[in-house]
Structure 1
């Protein structure tokens, strides 16, 4: 292994640790809107355990009156399953009022979700956002929202861990760097 390669691997690992710690140490604060990022929805319309854990965190926020609205964002897969609609259904089954849920079915990735959520907030005069996603994803989502003009952002994550988190953390490093330099439009 060359010294440069070792340096890059070390930098990648340190960056992954820094992003993980930043996500784990992000304090949750009361907000106008909780922004829940999508994840896998099964063909029967039920959320994967990872997504259900995110939604449960948003439900807790709503029940404790820490957020007045829940903005759910996800895409529509090849089979026609609408992540955001399934998320809305789950929230409603767990007591969140339908008129307190905003649905973004065009949130096909983190950048799109941040763009749509910031537009939603701006159009309604909302200023405080609480991001609900996995701990390692929080820094990138918060960065994306700030790039679209949201200034008061906090985050929370479900206490849900999977072995695939290691892969996801490694993936967050280049994704975060891309979001730092990515043009807004």
Structure 2
């Protein structure tokens, strides 16, 4: 049993690490911790820097930033927008989703936005271990052309997070729309 879990975790991490970012209409950036001073955590800043690089290289036209509002009242998506504006991304190229409380909600909101605007290609920007589940969620919500990109950022908690992804991946594969 342990060997199967270790193998599944390794396969999931490898899948995320080997996913290549392709040009997309929309880069979907998943939220993460906002520090008490209102700045993105290093993990979130790394995601935003990766999305900015995509935009600067003209690999995506729109940056869809999605996150929730934490118990202290910090709106992840608003903080993400501010960070990208400070990096020079034009306001009209950033779409803010403050109701992306989890990856499933982000996928639902992003796919709705894409359909409304005639976009078909998405690039998921999150941590490498989270890329496969987010891509699955987008596909389940009707976005067929999805690739993934991740920042070169590692924390020791990524090991725990990789194992946590296993039951979450199974749930996303089976849960009803």
Q: Same fold, TM exceeding 0.5? A: yes
Instruction: Tell me the residue number matched to 1:182.
Output: 175
Residue pairs, 1:1-185, within 5 angstroms: 7=1, 9-184=2-177
RMSD over equivalenced CA pairs, Å: 0.6
- Cα distance per residue 1:3-26 (max 9 Å; x no partner): xxxx2x222111111110100000
Alignment gaps of 5+ in structure 2: none
Higher radius of gyration, 1 or 2: 1
Q: Give the length in aligned residue pairs.
A: 177
Whole-angstrom distance in 2 between the partners of 1:80 and 1:175: 26
Whole-angstrom distance in 2 between the partners of 1:119 and 1:72: 14
Q: Report SS of the residue matched to 1:34.
A: strand
TM-score with structure 2 length normalisation? 0.99
Whole-angstrom distance in 1 between the partners of 2:4 and 2:175: 21
Deviation for aligned residue 1:176: 0.3
Q: Displaced runs of 4+ in structure 1, greater than 3 A? A: none
Whole-angstrom distance in 2 between the partners of 1:19 and 1:118: 23
More divergent stretch after superposition (88-97 vs 11-20): 11-20
Whole-angstrom distance in 1 between the partners of 2:34 and 2:175: 29
